[in-house]
Amino acid sequence: MSDGAQPPVKARGLVKRYKEVLAVDHIDLNVRAGDVYGFLGPNGAGKTTTLRMALGLIVPSEGTVELFGRDPLREGARALEGVAGFVEAPRFYPYLSARKNLELLAALDGDGADGRIGEVLEIVELTPRAGHRVGGFSHGMRQRLGIAAALLRRPRLLILDEPATGLDPAGMRDMRLLIRRLADDGITVLLSSHQLPEVQELCDRVAIVDSGRVVYEGALAELRRQGGAGYRLRSTDDARALEIARTAPGVEHVLASEQGVGFQADEPHVGALSLALAQAGIGILALTPELATLEDLFFRLTEQDAEAARPGLDGARPSAANGAPAHGERLVEAQ
């Protein structure tokens, strides 16, 4: 199979142990060519460790990872052909200018990368600061320089770990646009991010990790579909509507919020609830279908996973389709 036919990232049974700590627990990843693949998880979930293993920076305790069919551990730099990016914050030599840093990295890339320095500086809009020492750069400028350093390699796969961290709103928007453009140009992007709206906007497939394990991997649209359709009800008497909804058959996860009453149900049960409300003399002001956001689903998956891991519970892994209440709603309920 040629390079082009191999998946950009294929991880199988990746494990990383640090003495007693299991940082990554049998992670499988499948990033396909052309994906903008979101890699999500709470802090300490094992995302960065996984990315470091993918780039050959960390030796897995078990399992394998291949980039375009090549194992970085066995093949070294050859496995990183066509691969670029950074894990955690991009780091540079503070005593060298931005241009000198890129010259160094271009020298380590070979393949005429030095001829692209001006071009990539232009892309990230650092040309006016190219002669300045990186030691004086802001975090956001270093992030942009990190992107420039990655683009020097003309990557087919771009691995970005929190690229928008430290950027101002305009910088975050520009970063999103840049990633979108790169993806449109055929570059596969593996994006680790805490910015869930950013992931929802950019990514077509996601993996969600928690406590070192993948709790969901697949299409974002499928995850949202599995998350189930929810409804938001505003009525003339929300308090009574809440009581009726809680006892209505087929209506689940009924929660009050400032925006009204939220619940999940299929269409026949929504119809039955409407009738029950009318019979009780409650007027329906609005009944709005709501698709679960990535943020809702992320908290459902990661927080339920933490619940399952608590002593005394059976530890069964929750499925992506379970219908636990969303994070924001749970906070309202607690009040």
Partner 1 sequence: MSSVAGAQSVPARALRGPRRPSTLIVYRWELRKLASQKRTYMGLGLAALLPLIFVVSQLVRGHPPRGADSIFASEIFQSGLATPVLMLTFLAPFFLPLIATLVAGDIVATEDSNGTLKTILTRSVDRGQVFAAKAGAAMTYGLTAVYVSAAVATVAGVSAWGFHSVRTLSGTTVSAQKALLLVVAANACFLIPLLTIVCIGVLLSTITRNSAAAIVGTLGVTLILAIVQQIPGLEGLHPYLLTTQYFAWQGLLRTPTDWAPILHSLWVCALYAVPALFAGYLVFLRRDVAGG
Kindly list the residues in this chain that would bind partner 1 in the complex (CB under 8 A). Answer: 2-4, 33, 49, 52, 55-59, 76-77, 80-96, 100, 104-105, 107-112, 116, 119-120, 122-125, 144, 147, 149, 151-156, 174-175, 177-178, 181-182, 185-187
Residue (122 or 267) nearer to partner 1, CB: 122
> How far is residue 118's CA from residue 25's CA, in Å, rounded to a whole number?
42
Question: Tokens 């066509």 label which residue?
Answer: 82
Least gap, CB of 220 to partner 1 (angstroms): 23
Residue (3 or 62) nearer to partner 1, CB: 3
> How far is residue 41's CA from residue 311's CA, in Å, rounded to a whole number?
22
Query: Residue 151 contacts by C-beta under 8 Å, 6 or more apart in sequence?
Result: 84, 116, 120, 123, 124
Residue (121 or 220) nearer to partner 1, CB: 121
Q: What strands, in cross-sheet order, belong to the sheet with 252-257? A: 252-257, 260-264, 229-235, 284-291
Residue 285 · residue 235 · CB < 8 Å: yes
Least gap, CB of 191 to partner 1 (angstroms): 16
Return the CA Rg of the chain. Answer: 24
Residue (117 or 196) nearer to partner 1, CB: 117
Least gap, CB of 44 to partner 1 (angstroms): 14
Residue (101 or 264) nearer to partner 1, CB: 101
Least gap, CB of 10 to partner 1 (angstroms): 17
Least gap, CB of 198 to partner 1 (angstroms): 15
Element at 39 (helix H, strand E)? strand 36-40
Alpha-carbon separation of residue 18 from 49, 64, 70, 192, 310 (angstroms): 11, 17, 25, 22, 22
